[in-house]
Amino acid sequence: MTTNSPVTDTATEERRTADGVEVIRDHQHTVEIVSDSGEGAQKCGQIFGAMSAKMGNGVWTVEIIPAEIQPPARSPAGASGIRIRFGTDEITNWGNRTNVCVAFNEQVLRARHVLDALEEDAILLVENMWKDHRDEDIRAEWVTAMDELSDSGYRIIEVPMEEQCLTVVDNPRKGKNMFALGLLCWIFDRDMDLARDQIAHAFRTKSEEVYETNVKLLDLGYSWADENLDFRVDVPTHRAAEDMVVMNGNQALAFGAVAAGMELAAMYPITPATSVSHQLGEMFHSFGGIVHQAEDEIAAAGVSIGASYSGKVAFTITSGPGLALKTEFLGLAIMTEIPLVVIDVQRGGPSTGLPTKVEQSDLIAAIFGQPGDAPHVVMAPATIAGCFHSMITARRIAETFRTVVIVLTDANLATGVQPFPRPSLDPAWMGSRPDMSPVPEGKRPYEWDPKTGLSQRFIPGQPGGMHTLTGLAHDEESRIAYASAVNQRASAMRSRKLAVLQSTLRPPKVNGPDSGDLLVVGWGSTKGAIEEAVENMRAEGLAVSSLQIRFLSPLEPGLKEIFQRFRKVMTVEINYSDDPGDPFITDENRRRGQLAWLLRANTLVDVDCWTRVLGEPLRPGVIEDVIRAHMPKGGAA
Amino acid sequence: MSAHSCSLLYPVEDDHEYTMSDYEDLQPRWCPGCGDLSVLTAAQRLLAAEQLKPEETVFVSGIGCSSRFPHYVNSYGFHGLHGRALPVATGIKLNRPDLHVFVVMGDGDCTSIGAAHWLHATRYNVDMVALMMDNNIYGLTKKQTSPTTPMGYKSNTQPLGSYLPALNPIEATLGVSNASFVAQTAEWMPAHLYATLQAAYQHKGFAFVRILQRCPVFTGDLYKDAVRNPDMIEMLEHPDGVEVPELHQIYDNVNRHDPRNIEAARELAEKVDRIRVGVFFRDESRPRYEETRHLPLHTTDEKIGILNQELDKYAV
């Protein structure tokens, strides 16, 4: 065991107990487990995150997923893992760097080092079986990597994971993760009963024997740590006053969909959206709904539209490439005013892009993707709780306004686990069964209220409501429009609905003072990181506030007025933009962040932006640097 | 589909006797002599014969000449996207098995842009009638080659003649696992057309009917010989398929083909010596997707109870 210099962080206090075990007390800590793909690091981290939440810590987890199921072993690019940031208070993002990292080989650990993911004084627990491996090349790789890591200020602890696990299982590849969980449970003094409960939940579809083996490995890790480690970390817990639940964003979307009364989801497998349907598949079995895995993305849109047309609002689940394929069908639903909810769990793009990584690059496509004028609603939850509640709002808006609602989340929310107040389920969220009473004579299928553009839809089975819905331009009677004025009027009616929806929205709330030098505007999953950075910068005396936009189409009201109270407005986003100063880039040809683009067009305010597409969530520390660099020069506002 | 199923959602009085004219809507705007017109008449005759309530009947179509069909039927209609009628119809039936669903597609719609859905809808075997109105050409866009255009036949996109052997939709459908009803008929044989539509409607499962038809503007010559020479036609007849004895005077090539026999069906589908009409294959025992997926629905209160139990598993 190598022990480097003790941890010295201003945020931590430490003390040494009688038995020589150093206890590091910290109000928040970040842990990573990294391995080759298929070694279960994520399962270990998910359990650790969930139990920490259950013990009363604020938690945020982020999964590190290579694109392949089984990339080459011991390769930095194949590093698979999970980061868990947890603290005494609420945690809203993945933070900056990791304090404790458990690695199943030195190559994946090195990958994290190279990516600057490790705190300068991080404690690294690394499997040491590679040191004496029979393959000479591997032994050499170990030496090189460990030399490199030792040159930094890390405290490196070698752990004989393989050797230990072999006492319980024949194939430690399938067991090290629970041993690692045991290590972490000892280090962070977790409740072992809770750990066993979580293991039981995680392996609920497996045999009792599998559970027993995993618990043995857990206990083994715990006792090895007890005998061999000389430090523990205390992140005080305090139970929330209200009941909480803990899950990831995709699970929250599934729960929200059920709570919103939706009974049919049609989808086609696509990363990182698919796990919404896994959750639904389990839940719908008891609720009586259907997850239809269609033959392709287009059919998934078609089936959900057919279902919506004939009754309750249905939904489809996808990610960028799938959204592109569904484009024509979304245009049809908008044109024919069939309510529909679309979940787009964004990933890196364009094309196949970065399937497992976070990006916010679908915004413009989500709003303007359909050829022709196709006004519809686009909203973006920013938290795990937001994923749940947005489904209820989305279903209600889709139905009330007879339109398509796209809910944009991203890979960060998809696998991010966070506790949130347990929703108190309301029957009203589920909506009512469609009205199937006879349609009064003379009532027309698109009887647009000229003021609002709203009309009542007729559902098959309703006597007297027979009409043929068509994607061709049509009039109030759903008859094909041969006169040009009809199309102008119908377009106006469909567009007006968005203005009406906007009139019901409240102006967004500024985080921090509602005037100042700089306003940072974000949308979606960046909320936590942006707000943490802005609060830290305010603590340093900068007049900076932030704003997270939830409705992107229609945009929330009052933005221009808010923007005018700041000397400078900029967006921070996870999509591509040209940096000023890049070759050939001028103020006129600069391609800006997607939200910045929208805000400039809608407010005529000179909104600046800073965006990155690094395939990882934004770190608050990086945003702090951005804020410092973008503070307007000169005196205060 | 059963003839008189009541809507579960709304009780309806059953005393009205529907006639063909009850199913008429707008005046068709197809060209004079278009094969679509005889299909429309046959369909309206079927609706009246089966006394289907217009409000419980949905015609779903794609894009093309034939896809204007729903506009001319007094029922619910869904005139959607090119090639995508089948997914929409599948969604309707998954949500509302009580509705009578008819899908109307052209050859380009079904066998080209929507080919994937055709294959999978056959496999889902959802209870509906799928009419593939095959005039061997793209009509609405003015004479482009379709997958079923005969090899060598000239079009605006292939002026030297189609380069590929024509796709055989019957053969292809018979090749799909879980196919349950595969039939072919011709627009110029109205009695046979009607009998086939009726058999398709009465079949429980996905009933695929290819209707051979002439486009008087672009492919008027294609079936000229077949129309004039009944010897080119062979009728597949069986009590389990269709039987049209009144046509025997004209068409004396009658093949007593048992539609349970998939091997014989495939052999017949492959042959090009004659045009075969009738039911090639039928098996009502194949699983139907909307029944396989059916689960009892719950009340809002029950759902909240179940959802709360689910949430308990994630409680802190």
Q: What is the pLDDT of residues A135-172, one digit of tens each?
A: 999 999 999 999 999 999 999 999 999 999 999 999 88
Q: What is the pLDDT of residues B223-233, one digit of tens each?
A: 999 999 999 99
Q: What is the pLDDT of residues A434-446, one digit of tens each?
A: 899 999 999 999 9
Asked whether residue B167 carries a pLDDT value surpassing 50, the answer given is: yes
Neighbours of B263 (CB within 10 A): 8
The whole-angstrom separation of Cα A318 and Cα A266 is 10
- Parallel/antiparallel/unpaired status of strands B144-145 and B137-138: antiparallel
Residues of chain A contacting residue B78, judged by C-beta atoms under 8 Å apart: 306, 309, 468-469
Beta strands in A36-172 (DSSP E): 58-64, 80-87, 98-103, 118-127, 155-159
Candidates A56, A314, A469; nearest CB to B78: A469
Average pLDDT, chain B: 94
**B interface test, pick of A258, A313, A466, A469 with most B CB neighbours within 10 Å:** A466
Asked whether residue B303 carries a pLDDT value surpassing 60, the answer given is: yes
- The pLDDT value given to residue A172: 82
Q: What is the pLDDT of residues A163-215, one digit of tens each?
A: 999 999 998 888 899 999 999 999 999 999 999 999 998 898 899 999 999 99
Q: What is the pLDDT of residues A502-519, one digit of tens each?
A: 999 999 999 999 999 999
Quick one: pLDDT band at residue A554, thresholds 50, 70, 90? Answer: very high
CB of A397 closer than 8 Å to CB of A377: yes
CB of A547 closer than 8 Å to CB of A510: yes
Q: Which CATH architecture has domain A516-630?
A: 3-Layer(aba) Sandwich (3.40)
- For residue A624, give both structure tokens: 């702090």
- The pLDDT value given to residue A288: 87
Mean pLDDT over A250-257 rounds to 98
Chain B nearest C-alpha distance from A339 (Å): 14
Mean pLDDT over A237-263 rounds to 93
Q: What is the ipTM of this complex?
A: 0.95
Quick one: pLDDT band at residue A4, thresholds 50, 70, 90? Answer: very low
A424 touches chain B (CB under 8 A): no
Asked whether residue A68 carries a pLDDT value surpassing 90, the answer given is: no
Chain A nearest C-alpha distance from B103 (Å): 12
Q: Report the amino acid identity of residue A529.
A: A
Quick one: pLDDT band at residue A216, thresholds 50, 70, 90? Answer: very high
- CA-nearest residue to A266 within chain B is B91
| Range A13-234 has CATH code 3.40.1280.10 | no
The whole-angstrom separation of Cα A209 and Cα A487 is 67
- The pLDDT value given to residue B2: 41
Candidates A430, A438, A461; nearest CB to B300: A430
Got the DSSP string for A366-407? HHH-SSS----EEE---SHHHHHHHHHHHHHHHHHHTSEEEE
Residues of chain B contacting residue A268, judged by C-beta atoms under 8 Å apart: none
Domains A13-234 and A516-630 belong to one CATH topology: no
Residue-range domain boundaries for chain A = 13-234, 245-423, 437-504, 516-630
The whole-angstrom separation of Cα A3 and Cα A14 is 16
- The pLDDT value given to residue A1: 38
- For residue A55, give both structure tokens: 């013990």
| Range B20-229 has CATH code 3.40.800.10 | no
pTM for this model (two decimals): 0.94
Asked whether residue A469 carries a pLDDT value surpassing 70, the answer given is: yes
Chain A nearest C-alpha distance from B145 (Å): 24
The separation between the first and the last C-alpha atoms of chain A, rounded to the nearest angstrom, is: 56
- The pLDDT value given to residue A42: 93
Residues of chain A contacting residue B120, judged by C-beta atoms under 8 Å apart: 294-295, 299
Task: State whether A243 and B313 contact (CB < 8 Å).
Answer: no
Chain A nearest C-alpha distance from B45 (Å): 18
Asked whether residue A465 carries a pLDDT value surpassing 60, the answer given is: yes
Size of interface A-B (CB pairs under 8 A): 203
Residues 209-248 of A with CB under 8 A from B: 240, 243-247
Beta bridge partners of B233: B275
Neighbours of A404 (CB within 10 A): 30
Average pLDDT, chain A: 94
Quick one: pLDDT band at residue B270, thresholds 50, 70, 90? Answer: very high
Q: What is the pLDDT of residues A18-64, one digit of tens each?
A: 578 999 999 999 999 999 998 999 999 999 999 999 999 999 999 98
Q: What is the DSSP letter of B65?
A: S
- The pLDDT value given to residue A3: 38
Quick one: pLDDT band at residue B296, thresholds 50, 70, 90? Answer: confident
Candidates A53, A433, A470; nearest CB to B79: A470
Residues of chain B contacting residue A340, judged by C-beta atoms under 8 Å apart: none
Candidates A295, A438, A460; nearest CB to B96: A460
Q: What is the pLDDT of residues A72-125, one digit of tens each?
A: 899 888 889 999 999 999 999 999 999 999 999 999 999 999 999 999 999 999
Asked whether residue A240 carries a pLDDT value surpassing 50, the answer given is: yes
Residues contacting residue A228 through CB under 8 Å, at least 6 positions apart: A1, A159
- The pLDDT value given to residue B5: 45
- The pLDDT value given to residue A16: 55
- The pLDDT value given to residue B9: 52
Chain B nearest C-alpha distance from A203 (Å): 13
Got the DSSP string for A565-610? TEEEEEEEESS--PPTTSTT--TTTPPPPHHHHHHHHHH----EEE
Candidates A247, A295, A466; nearest CB to B117: A295
Asked whether residue A241 carries a pLDDT value surpassing 90, the answer given is: no
A266 touches chain B (CB under 8 A): yes
Residues 47-106 of A with CB under 8 A from B: 53-54, 56
Asked whether residue A8 carries a pLDDT value surpassing 70, the answer given is: no
Residues 290-309 of A with CB under 8 A from B: 290, 292, 294-296, 298-309
Chain B nearest C-alpha distance from A303 (Å): 4
Asked whether residue A364 carries a pLDDT value surpassing 70, the answer given is: yes
**A interface test, pick of B12, B16, B56, B95 with most A CB neighbours within 10 Å:** B95
Chain A nearest C-alpha distance from B116 (Å): 7
CA A511 to chain CA mean position, Å: 21
% of chain A exceeding 90 in pLDDT: 89
Instruction: Specify the CATH number for A245-423; select among 3.40.50.300, 3.40.50.970, 3.40.50.880, 3.40.50.261.
Output: 3.40.50.970
Of A164-173, B261-270, B306-315, give the range with the top mean pLDDT: B261-270
The whole-angstrom separation of Cα A260 and Cα A392 is 5
- The pLDDT value given to residue A17: 61
Residues of chain B contacting residue A284, judged by C-beta atoms under 8 Å apart: 295
CB of A311 closer than 8 Å to CB of A339: no
Task: State whether A264 and B94 contact (CB < 8 Å).
Answer: yes
Asked whether residue A281 carries a pLDDT value surpassing 70, the answer given is: yes
Residues of chain B contacting residue A194, judged by C-beta atoms under 8 Å apart: none
Q: Report the amino acid identity of residue A152.
A: S
Mean pLDDT over B301-316 rounds to 93
Task: State whether B300 and A261 contact (CB < 8 Å).
Answer: yes
- CA-nearest residue to A239 within chain B is B316
- The pLDDT value given to residue B14: 63
A104 vs A29, A63, A608, B16, B279, CA distance in Å? 20, 16, 43, 75, 63
Helices (H) and strands (E) in chain A, counts: 19, 23
A372 touches chain B (CB under 8 A): no
Quick one: pLDDT band at residue A15, thresholds 50, 70, 90? Answer: low
Candidates A247, A303, A433; nearest CB to B94: A303
Instruction: Name the 3-class secondary structure at B50.
Output: helix
% of chain A exceeding 70 in pLDDT: 97
- The pLDDT value given to residue B316: 84
Asked whether residue A331 carries a pLDDT value surpassing 80, the answer given is: yes
- The pLDDT value given to residue B6: 45
Which of these, B165, B147, B180, lies nearest to B265 by C-alpha position?
Answer: B180
Asked whether residue A403 carries a pLDDT value surpassing 60, the answer given is: yes
Asked whether residue B127 carries a pLDDT value surpassing 70, the answer given is: yes
Q: What is the pLDDT of residues A574-590, one digit of tens each?
A: 999 999 999 999 999 99
- The b-or-e profile of A350-372 (16+ CB within 10 A means b, else e) is eeebbbbbbbbbbbebbbebbee
Asked whether residue A6 carries a pLDDT value surpassing 90, the answer given is: no
Which of these, A246, A188, A186, A185, lies nearest to A44 by C-alpha position?
Answer: A185
- The pLDDT value given to residue A295: 98
